[in-house]
């Protein structure tokens, strides 16, 4: 078996979603459909537009909670520790410190990414099947929800292939097909990602819609066509389809009425026009878990943030010198997106993109998933790779849009390799602590060995090329006979 969530688990997720939606009915726009709890089981999940919409809403609700997408065990945090972005403050035996020193073995089993990503995929597959076969859902809603589910599946597979390499490819809930799936080449997984995204792009709404998936809304918390396009442009960049990456990124950049680069202090606000897709926090009186994780109140692990029901949140990391000390002198991002505390004469810098870290503060920030700045950087890199380095409609144009917003001077004509190095540098300082960008960039641009051979010993660890891919959790190998003997190279199976 692959992970593996049964249909009972899917029903459980829908039930949880309904409970969350009812309990947090004050959370508007995204979470505004309140289907009866006793109706969301079995086929009843797809017995009406509202019930079917709640299935996808439940996925977004779960993604917003402290877990693999935000907070103390998130992809942003873990990959930041793996790379040169973050410094761990945890004890040596803690999984985060093991990640930080690049010493994962089968301890990868303590990282929940694999199982949780496949759990989301199963939920997406179940939604596609259930919605497709339902006669109770209107055609317009059915079209929207199937597109959202395909996007969710593509999004999860994007992270699986970039964290683990070749992975099993599941597009059904069929128990026989899912019982012992083999690993598939990541090129084939990318083909499925692209297929899902193109299908979704053709049918999903151009507008942002609210919880009923029909009414338009100003909030950007459900995927729309440009959200699908944002992931597709990134996938084309990663698969070196430069012309297609430029084409998709341009679609978003040219949507001037919807998207524009914000002032730095407004980028991560819930009202940000830079946002292509955001996740709405769902805990009352709490903003993002990223703020709770990254903002240092009084030094590492000092003054834990109070939360609902009395729980507290420690801060396990702070920013590395590679980020904090290497901004250009006039880079406004250093002032707007970082801060520091001094404890006993030692300075601890931290990521300050999300600022509202206290429980009880007004809801002003949403978790940013896709934003416009990345699209300029994608297009600039694609243009440089195609040799359009400077002049009209060039990589130079896109690079300088980002630099100008950061308060930096524009740069002149360079050759291709110099331009690419400048774009990689801008990605480092624009996208730090966001969704694994730095870790993935080092790998896909073949710079990871050069960087990590220097950085890993500084962190108290050592580096080998195989560590660019995380180990398949040992319990998953034990469960799936097709994975026996197919652990990622360099890691033990047991």
In this prediction, residues 166-187 reach a mean pLDDT of 93
15-40: pLDDT as tens digits: 444 434 433 333 444 433 333 333 34
- The pLDDT assigned to 34 comes to 36
Residue with tokens 């950049």: 253
Question: Which range, of 96-110, 261-275, 447-461, averages the lowest pLDDT?
Answer: 96-110
- The pLDDT assigned to 9 comes to 47
The two structure tokens encoding residue 200: 């979704």
Is 460 a member of any domain? no
In this prediction, residues 251-258 reach a mean pLDDT of 97
421-439 burial code (b ≥16 CB/10 A, e <16): ebbbebbbbbbbbbbbbbb
Is 493 a member of any domain? no
On the question of pLDDT at 255 being above 60, the answer is yes
Is 232 a member of any domain? no
The two structure tokens encoding residue 23: 């309990």
- The pLDDT assigned to 112 comes to 76
Question: Which range, of 44-48, 167-171, 217-221, 433-437, averages the lowest pLDDT?
Answer: 44-48
On the question of pLDDT at 278 being above 70, the answer is yes
Q: Pairing state of beta strands 346-351 and 312-313?
A: unpaired
On the question of pLDDT at 92 being above 80, the answer is no
pLDDT band at 303 (very low <50, low <70, confident <90, very high): low
Could you tell me which residues come within 8 angstroms of residue 42 by beta carbon, excluding any fewer than 6 positions away? 11
- The pLDDT assigned to 312 comes to 67
Is 84 a member of any domain? no
On the question of pLDDT at 247 being above 50, the answer is yes
On the question of pLDDT at 1 being above 60, the answer is no
Q: Which residue has the higher pLDDT, 24 or 228?
A: 228
What distance in Å separates the CA atoms of residue 425 and residue 431, rounded to the nearest whole number? Answer: 10
332-350 burial code (b ≥16 CB/10 A, e <16): bbbebbbbebeeeeeebbb
Is 416 a member of any domain? yes
pTM of the entire predicted model: 0.91
On the question of pLDDT at 386 being above 80, the answer is yes
In this prediction, residues 151-175 reach a mean pLDDT of 96
In this prediction, residues 187-215 reach a mean pLDDT of 97
Is 162 a member of any domain? no
396: left (phi over 0), alpha (psi -120 to 50) or beta: alpha
- Looking at the DSSP bridge assignments, the partners of residue 370 are 277
CB 356 within 8 A of CB 292: no
- Looking at the DSSP bridge assignments, the partners of residue 184 are 167
Percent of the chain clearing pLDDT 90 (strictly above): 74
On the question of pLDDT at 317 being above 50, the answer is yes
92 CA to centre of own chain: 27
> What residue numbers bound the domain in which 251 lies?
240-432
Q: Which residue has the higher pLDDT, 494 or 440?
A: 440
pLDDT band at 110 (very low <50, low <70, confident <90, very high): low
Question: Which range, of 68-72, 250-254, 267-271, averages the lowest pLDDT?
Answer: 68-72
Residue with tokens 């009425």: 257
Output the domain CATH number for residue 387: 1.25.40.390
Question: Which range, of 87-91, 216-220, 270-274, 365-369, averages the lowest pLDDT?
Answer: 87-91
46-63: pLDDT as tens digits: 999 999 999 999 999 999
Is 164 a member of any domain? no
- The pLDDT assigned to 409 comes to 96
Is 345 a member of any domain? yes
On the question of pLDDT at 306 being above 90, the answer is no
pLDDT band at 125 (very low <50, low <70, confident <90, very high): very high
- The pLDDT assigned to 419 comes to 96
Q: Which residue has the higher pLDDT, 306 or 143?
A: 143
Phi, psi angle pair for 417, to nearest 5°? -65, -40
Count of domains for the chain: 1
Closest CA to 460 of 161, 33, 114, 81: 81
119 CA to centre of own chain: 16
């Amino acid at each position: 078996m692959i992970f593996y969530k049964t249909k009972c688990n899917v029903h459980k997720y829908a039930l949880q979603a309904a409970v969350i939606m009812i309990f947090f009915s004050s959370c508007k726009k995204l979470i505004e459909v309140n289907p009866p709890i006793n109706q969301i089981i079995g086929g009843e999940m797809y017995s009406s537009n509202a019930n079917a919409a709640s299935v996808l809403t439940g996925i977004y609700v779960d993604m917003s909670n402290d877990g693999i997408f935000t907070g103390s065990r998130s992809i942003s945090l873990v990959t930041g520790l793996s790379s040169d972005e973050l410094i761990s403050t945890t004890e040596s035996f803690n999984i985060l410190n093991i990640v930080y020193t690049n010493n994962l073995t089968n301890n990868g089993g303590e990282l929940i990414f694999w199982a949780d990503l496949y759990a989301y995929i199963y939920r997406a597959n179940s939604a596609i099947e259930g919605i497709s076969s339902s006669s109770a859902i209107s055609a317009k809603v059915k079209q929207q929800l199937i597109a959202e589910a395909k996007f969710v599946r593509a999004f999860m597979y994007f992270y699986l292939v970039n964290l683990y390499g070749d992975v099993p490819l599941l597009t059904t809930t069929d128990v026989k097909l899912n019982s012992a799936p083999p690993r598939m080449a990541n090129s084939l997984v990318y083909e499925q990602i692209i297929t899902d995204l193109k299908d979704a792009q053709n049918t999903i709404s151009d507008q942002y819609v609210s919880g009923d998936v029909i009414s338009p809304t100003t909030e950007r918390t459900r995927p729309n066509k440009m959200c699908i396009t944002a992931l597709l442009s990134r996938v084309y960049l990663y698969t070196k389809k430069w012309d297609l990456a430029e084409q998709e990124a341009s679609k978003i950049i040219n949507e001037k009425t919807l998207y524009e680069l914000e002032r730095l202090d407004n980028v991560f606000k819930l009202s940000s026009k830079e946002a292509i897709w955001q996740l709405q926090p769902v805990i009352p009186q709490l903003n993002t878990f990223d703020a709770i994780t990254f903002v240092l109140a009084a030094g590492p692990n000092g003054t834990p943030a109070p939360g609902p029901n009395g729980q507290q949140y420690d801060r396990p990391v702070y920013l590395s010198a590679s980020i904090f000390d290497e901004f250009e002198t006039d880079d406004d991002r250093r002032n707007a997106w970082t801060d520091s505390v001094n404890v006993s004469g030692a300075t601890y810098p931290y990521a300050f993109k999300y600022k509202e870290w206290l429980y009880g503060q007004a809801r002003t920030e949403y978790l940013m998933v896709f934003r416009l700045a990345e699209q300029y950087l994608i297009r600039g890199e694609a243009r440089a790779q195609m040799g359009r380095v400077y002049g009209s409609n060039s990589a130079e144009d896109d690079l300088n849009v980002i630099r100008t917003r950061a308060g930096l001077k524009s740069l002149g004509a360079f050759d291709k390799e110099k331009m690419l190095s400048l774009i990689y540098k801008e990605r480092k300082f624009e996208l730090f602590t966001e969704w694994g960008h730095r870790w993935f960039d080092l790998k896909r641009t073949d710079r990871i060995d050069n960087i990590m051979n220097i950085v890993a010993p500084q962190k108290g660890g050592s580096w080998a090329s195989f560590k660019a891919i995380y180990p398949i959790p040992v319990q998953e190998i034990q469960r799936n006979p097709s994975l026996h003997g197919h652990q990622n190279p360099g890691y033990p199976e047991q």
